[in-house]
Amino acid sequence: MQIHILSVSPELMDSPFAHSIIKRAKEKGLLQIHVHNLRKWAINKHGQVDDYQYGGGAGMVLMCEPLANAIDELQANKKFDEIIFMTPDGKTFHQQMANRISLKENILIICGHYKGIDERIREHYVTMEISIGDFVLSGGELAAAVVVDAIGRLIPGVLNDETSALTDSFQDNLLAPPVYTRPANFRDWQVPDVLLQGDPKIVEDWRHEQSLKRTQERRPDLLQ
């Protein structure tokens, strides 16, 4: 899978992709991440990629010309399966969306900044608009990193145990059950006996029951 990211602050993406699971995915050759500085396509020698809004108002807007030129150049040899714009007014990101995107081969993520991007880019290029929650960040870079992490770990071969992703919260509209590790007794805090008796079917049933209970208590909306 190839992921291209357009950003006016590409340095913000350095750390999220240099560690842990995403780092291993890149080292295995299963995931390629290319972060592009939008200022490469600036309209002048001063690196300008933004301008004032028509009609007035506070805040700058990322311009049509650099974005369109960047997208055209990046997909000149290979068309993107999705062009995603990170924006607070997009569809809220969830696990099922991550599953669907992880099946794509080539995607572009546009990181919004300032007051956003010229609406014409959204109308003529963007195929999917994503929000990671009902709040506003200084730019779309951190949101893009969240999306890349969520979809990257779903690519076959990225996780050492591929069944791990299948038991994550939200995969079946349920929250994950409680988990425990050694020692079995710590400060008289005991691991449930059902997890120590060795019958996989009983353990599976208990975990499902606990998932239902936790979801009902914490996220009953998921059960609807």
Average pLDDT over residues 63-78: 96
Q: Per-residue confidence at 111, pLDDT binned at 50, 70, 90?
A: very high
Cα–Cα nearest to 51, from 97, 2, 115 = 115
Q: Per-residue confidence at 164, pLDDT binned at 50, 70, 90?
A: low
Average pLDDT over residues 75-103: 96
- Write down the pLDDT at residue 199: 95
Average pLDDT over residues 190-217: 95
- Write down the pLDDT at residue 168: 66
The DSSP letter of residue 183 is -
Q: Which helix (H) or strand (E) holds 143?
A: helix 141-152
Q: pLDDT digit string (tens) for 21-61?
A: 999 999 999 999 999 999 999 999 999 999 999 999 989 99
Average pLDDT over residues 206-224: 94
Domain 2-152 identical in fold to domain 167-223: no
- Write down the pLDDT at residue 171: 72
Distance CA 219, CA 83 (A): 31
Average pLDDT over residues 184-200: 95
3-state DSSP: the chain helix, strand, coil percent, rounded to 5?
Answer: 35, 20, 45
Question: How many Å separate Cα 32 from the centre of its chain?
Answer: 15
- Which of 5-19, 133-147, 167-181 is predicted least confidently? 167-181
Distance CA 98, CA 147 (A): 7
Q: Per-residue confidence at 167, pLDDT binned at 50, 70, 90?
A: low
What tokens does 177 get? Answer: 């059950």
Question: How many Å separate Cα 28 from the centre of its chain?
Answer: 20
The CATH fold of domain 167-223: Trp Operon Repressor; Chain A (1.10.1270)
The domain locations on the chain are 2-152, 167-223
Residue 162 in this model has a pLDDT that exceeds 60 = no
Distance CA 169, CA 172 (A): 8
Pairing of strands 128-131, 185-186: unpaired
- Write down the pLDDT at residue 78: 87
Model-wide pTM > 0.85: yes
Q: Which helix (H) or strand (E) holds 4?
A: strand 2-7
On whether the CB atoms of residues 148 and 33 are closer than 8 A, the answer is yes
Q: Give the orientation angle of helix 141-152 with respect to helix 20-27, to 10 degrees.
A: 60
What is the assigned CATH class of domain 2-152? alpha beta
Name the E strands within 18-112: 32-37, 50-52, 60-62, 82-92, 106-111
Which amino acid, one-letter code, is at 191?
V
